[in-house]
Homo-oligomer: A and B are copies of this chain.
Amino acid sequence: MRQSQLFGKTSREDPKDAVAANARFLERGGFVFKNSAGVYSFLPLGWRVLQKIARIIREEMNAIGGQELFMPALVEKKYMEPTGRWGVDISLEVLGAGEKEASFVLGWTHEEVLTAIAKHLVNSYKDLPFAAYQIQTKFRNEPRAKSGLLRGREFIMKDLYSFHADEKDFESYYSKVREAYNRVFSRVEVKAVYTVAAGGVFTKKNTHEFQVVSPVGEDTIYVCEKCGYAENKEISSLKAGSACPACGSGVEEKSAIEVGNIFPLGTKYTEALGLQYADEKGHKNYVVMGSYGIGLSRLMATIVEVHHDENGIIWPESVAPFQVHLIELGIRNHELGNIVKNTAEDLYNRLLAKGVDVLYDDRADKTVGEKFADADLIGIPWRVVVSEKMLEKNGFELKKRNRANPEILSAAALVEAVENKKDLL
């Protein structure tokens, strides 16, 4: 993509009242646009990152047998009333013109809706187990939305639900989801701590959260540095320096961002909505259920919190909006400048032909300093510079965003280097 055509513009100034790095860099870099408190648009650069995260999550959910579907955002009262979750304070109600009372809320979770669908599809033990997920916009009444994409009124979420004949089968799947989540977080390069937590409005049981340690995190967790055992402060009797119940070592108190959670739901929803199956002997039993969330927009923000320096974002290769940022520094209306320009165009086309995602900074009205500052802000992993200085050396400058020193390579060596790195992704 030519940067001169990109719908999105960088800014030198931090947005007002934005403190968290994700809010500052994602807005300044032209990844997102803040429409209202806690309500963002994803501009083309940001949408590319989000789609890459979505793809990784889809691959890992499909790998554990999750089937993708798509449920409505409009959730009728008939679904939420039987479980006592109609009118909870995090819900947003929907009213048509002239209506006095809402009959729909905006879906903030879909246990009820999917359980009701499953009632039509599940009869016998042969129909179990199964798991279904969606990637969808979710909504929450969040009067104090803050921290950029970390806590919004509207956000993008992957929610997986699994249905089982018994607790044992559920537990074996729960472990599989845990492993799949670990693979997702490892592929997007955040270190997530598996943390025992409370169930909130989902369940009375203990649940598990995936927490990424970060100073902007709103959660407080106790982590044992030795064995990794962690508890969320909400449910924990630990304090800083306590002995970890798992290994007896001391625990540390940390701020953390919850990027995922997994909930054992037992038969809470299936009893409330009447989802039963007939076992081998024909006896009716309630289906055992789990639900498992990852906030995609929050994960994108968390990646930025973990991967940035004072100049901007340093995207992991797996989720970067482009693989290569090609920067052309020819002087306008100048013979050598034209050679630089043509050389850059040629390299752009060669990289595209090799299937490399390139953002090509072809902008004629920007200085060298502006182009370099934008490249650091946007944070694409590989920066390639075409300039007169480089042409004199018969090469191109290749630099990784997170390394200080560039290399000088020939065009052929450069294309090969970029291609090989691509294989390492």
Q: Which residues of A contact B (CB under 8 A)?
A: 5-9, 30, 33, 35-36, 39-44, 46-47, 50, 65, 67-76, 79, 87, 89, 91-97, 102, 104, 106, 113, 116-117, 120-121, 126, 130, 132, 137, 139, 141, 143, 153-154, 365
Contact = CB atoms under 8 A, between A and B. Distances in A.
B95 A92 contact: yes
Nearest to A124: B365
A67 B106 CA distance: 28
Contacts of A106: 94, 106
Given A130-B7, A141-B97, A39 B74 contact: yes
A106 B44 CA distance: 22
Nearest to A123: B9
Most buried by B among A33, A69, A91: A69
Given A102-B95, A143-B96, A67 B36 contact: no
Contacts of A141: 96-97
Nearest to A143: B96
Contacts of A72: 35-36, 39-41, 137, 154
A117 B70 contact: no
A7 B69 contact: yes
A28 to B, nearest CB: 12
B73 A139 contact: yes
Given A35-B71, A35-B116, A36-B72, 15 more contacts: A7-B121, A8-B121, A9-B121, A33-B120, A36-B76, A39-B76, A41-B71, A43-B69, A44-B132, A73-B154, A92-B94, A92-B95, A92-B96, A93-B97, A94-B95
A67 B7 contact: yes
Contact of A69 (B41, B92, B113): B41
A94 to B, nearest CB: 5
A126 to B, nearest CB: 8
Nearest to A126: B365
A121 B78 CA distance: 44
A130 B76 contact: no
B97 A95 contact: no
Contacts of A137: 72-73, 137
A132 B73 contact: no
Contacts of A69: 7, 41-44, 46-47
Contact of A70 (B36, B41, B92, B102): B41
A8 B97 CA distance: 35
A120 B7 contact: no
Contacts of A74: 35-36, 39, 139, 153-154
A10 to B, nearest CB: 11
A40 B69 CA distance: 11
A280 to B, nearest CB: 14
Contacts of A365: 126
A70 B50 contact: yes
